[in-house]
């Protein structure tokens, strides 16, 4: 009983560390197109921010970052380094907005730089070397999955933590940009509990026919972001 409890608490500690908002990777600098939506008055209140977030979760992330995380988790579990490299190249091709693409691999590289000091895993080491040699970029969902699997976390917990972390980022940025009250942000987050579970269920075994499905409105506004007259965020 004690050993099972200790293992459960160790896993919880590892998961909390992985999604800790104080990690020095710079995630708070990126809105991934949300800033454009706000400036264009498409996202302008609590209801539209909530709708934007649920659309991102269930029509974008589950086919893109979440799906690639799921596939990368499986590849890491089977020590399939070549598959991880191929997933890195495929994910690069799906990120058509330059700022979003660069933001993702910058976050991934910084995350790996932190955790490779703690996790002695041959695939992590090989992947880090591949980044150094510029054979892969090191996209955030792929690195997140690799680290979580190396820690011994489950795929379901990893996916939930990843989506939760992404959702909190959107809410934090939306509250600041629109602006909204902090309580509005908490209401949106509370309402995401069931959609987050749904997203995890849909991502455990991604449908490869939908992999990289485009969300054109978001892609366009992510590209428009670098031309905004004023900006708070890098993407």
Residue 2 is predicted with a pLDDT of 62
Using one digit for the tens of pLDDT, what is the confidence trace for 82-94? Answer: 999 999 999 999 9
Residue 1 is predicted with a pLDDT of 59
Say how far apart CA 104 and CA 172 lie, in whole Å.
18
For residue 52, what are the contacts with CB-CB under 8 A and spacing of at least 6? 34, 37, 42, 43, 170, 174
Using one digit for the tens of pLDDT, what is the confidence trace for 172-221? Answer: 999 999 999 999 999 999 999 999 999 999 999 999 999 998 788 898 99
Residue 66 is predicted with a pLDDT of 98
Residue 21 is predicted with a pLDDT of 85
pTM of the prediction?
0.96
| Residues lower than pLDDT 70 in the chain | 1-2
Residue 231 is predicted with a pLDDT of 86
């Amino acid at each position: 009983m004690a050993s099972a409890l200790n293992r459960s608490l160790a896993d919880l500690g590892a998961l909390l560390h992985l999604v800790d908002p104080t990690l020095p990777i710079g995630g708070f600098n990126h809105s991934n197109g949300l800033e454009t939506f706000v400036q264009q008055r498409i996202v302008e209140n609590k209801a539209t921010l909530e709708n934007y977030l649920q659309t991102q979760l269930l029509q974008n992330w589950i086919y893109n970052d979440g799906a690639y995380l799921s596939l990368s988790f499986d590849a890491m579990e089977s020590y399939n380094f070549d598959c991880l490299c191929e997933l890195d190249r495929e994910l690069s091709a799906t990120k058509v907005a330059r700022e979003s693409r660069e933001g993702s691999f910058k976050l991934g590289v910084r995350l790996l730089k932190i955790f490779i000091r703690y996790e002695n895993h041959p695939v992590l080491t090989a992947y880090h070397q591949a980044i150094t040699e510029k054979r892969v970029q090191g996209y955030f969902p792929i690195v997140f999955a690799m680290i979580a699997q190396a820690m011994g976390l489950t795929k379901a917990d990893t996916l939930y933590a990843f989506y939760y972390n992404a959702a909190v980022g959107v809410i934090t940025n939306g509250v600041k940009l629109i602006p909204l009250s902090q309580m509005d942000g908490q209401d949106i987050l509370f309402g995401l509990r069931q959609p987050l579970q749904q997203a995890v269920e849909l991502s455990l075994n991604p449908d490869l026919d939908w992999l990289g499905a485009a969300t054109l409105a978001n892609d366009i506004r992510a590209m428009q972001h670098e031309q905004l007259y004023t900006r708070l965020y890098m993407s």
